[in-house]
A and B are shown apart, each in its own frame.
Chain A
């Protein structure tokens, strides 16, 4: 299996061929944000999942095929929405700047 995308979250242990991975990093002023929450909303805007970011600001979802929205909440910041397309067998990398 290939290694992680530069700057991205390691994909070791993830069966990328069978999953539609959406992952990335939340940053503020170029620095990782470790205490943010990233929510995955479906094509109708309905909540599907949420994860807290790691100490390095990383997050990961195992989505289904299609269009999704990432909504990021963090202390002292307005929510940020980003669209992303997920495809089984690929990894969508998203960097979210607050």
Chain B
């Protein structure tokens, strides 16, 4: 993979607003953003209700994902272009999710909703109507999804990349600073994990940095390009952004997103935790 076949610009999206082959999908942390205004023709996916099981902590299953996309009018042959707020955190999460269920042609709008807004491009509150489809998903691709046992096994052996802010990594904050800090889990990071905040991969306007800049950032942080990599954050969305960078822009093999992330790891009994700015020992 490379940025040429995984990223599109805001101008490209504007030029393709009437292309029936393309389905624009907005996914935001603030699930009301779409309702206030969205790119013309875009549909909404709500990450809390559409993409999460409503009882267990897990994703919707294959049949539920098929029903969701069929009802929203997304077909297997459509090019899905995702965008959202927070510099595309949740759009990148949805991108990873579409890949998890085997959708062939998915792209991210570089810079997401922020870039679109900062460019003063048009948003509308007009509802989007699409014809239903009959969507068929694949079984989950676990070559891109990490679970807790392999994360523990990766300590000191694989690249672990903690993409949260430096204060969350060190244990000084428990959540991103736009959220209240009272949380159940312990503070800190997985020992040996490199701290590479997701934001290092993005420019202020939310677009991704150049390939050379990106490769340099992860190399300087100690990522060994010959090893497999697991990225994590707090709940798995910011790490989807980094997964996208490593796997889809830089074309690394064997990159997984740990969607359990710190809210799972920091609540596990008996696992090692490192505090402070240093990586810690295996």
**A→B interface (CB under 8 Å):** 14-15, 18-19, 35, 37, 39-40, 42, 44, 46-52, 55, 60-64, 71, 73-76, 79
B87: chain A residues within 8 A (beta carbon): 50
B197: chain A residues within 8 A (beta carbon): 46-47
**B→A interface (CB under 8 Å):** 30, 33, 36, 85-87, 114, 117-120, 165-167, 172-173, 175-182, 197, 199-200, 204-205
A47 to B205, CA, bound (A): 13
CB <8 Å contact, B165 and A15 = no
CB <8 Å contact, B85 and A52 = yes
How many residue pairs, one in A and one in B, have C-beta atoms under 8 Å apart? Answer: 73
CB <8 Å contact, A79 and B177 = no
12 interchain pairs, CB-CB under 8 A: A46-B197, A47-B197, A48-B165, A48-B166, A50-B87, A52-B30, A52-B114, A62-B179, A63-B173, A64-B177, A73-B114, A74-B118
Q: A35-B117, A73-B205, A76-B120 in contact; A50/B178 too (CB < 8 A)? A: yes
B30: chain A residues within 8 A (beta carbon): 52
Contact pick for B204, options A44, A51, A79, CB 8 Å: A79
Q: A55-B36, A64-B172 are in contact. List 11 more A-B contacts (CB 8 A).
A: A19-B180, A44-B166, A46-B165, A47-B197, A48-B173, A49-B165, A49-B176, A50-B86, A51-B178, A62-B179, A75-B117
A52 to B86, CA, bound (A): 8
CB distance from B262 to the nearest CB of A (A): 15
A70 to B178, CA, bound (A): 12
A61: chain B residues within 8 A (beta carbon): 177-178
The closest CB in chain B to the CB of A68 belongs to B177
Majority secondary structure, B binding face:
loop
Q: Across chains A and B, which 6 residue pairs bring their CB atoms closest together, nearest first?
A: A47-B199, A49-B177, A48-B165, A49-B178, A75-B120, A61-B177
CB <8 Å contact, B165 and A62 = no
A51: chain B residues within 8 A (beta carbon): 178
CB <8 Å contact, A75 and B119 = yes
Central interface residue in A18, A47, A55, A63, by most chain B CB within 10 Å: A47
CB <8 Å contact, A18 and B176 = no
CB <8 Å contact, A62 and B180 = yes
A74 to B119, CA, bound (A): 9
The closest CB in chain B to the CB of A88 belongs to B181
CB <8 Å contact, B178 and A42 = no
A42: chain B residues within 8 A (beta carbon): 165-167
CB <8 Å contact, B167 and A62 = no
CB distance from A20 to the nearest CB of B (A): 8
CB distance from A6 to the nearest CB of B (A): 24
CB distance from A83 to the nearest CB of B (A): 16
A71 to B204, CA, bound (A): 10
CB distance from B209 to the nearest CB of A (A): 13
CB <8 Å contact, B181 and A62 = yes
A51 to B87, CA, bound (A): 10
B175: chain A residues within 8 A (beta carbon): 62
Q: A15-B182, A73-B205 in contact; A48/B119 too (CB < 8 A)? A: no
CB <8 Å contact, A18 and B181 = yes
The closest CB in chain B to the CB of A18 belongs to B182
CB distance from B201 to the nearest CB of A (A): 11
B114: chain A residues within 8 A (beta carbon): 37, 52, 73
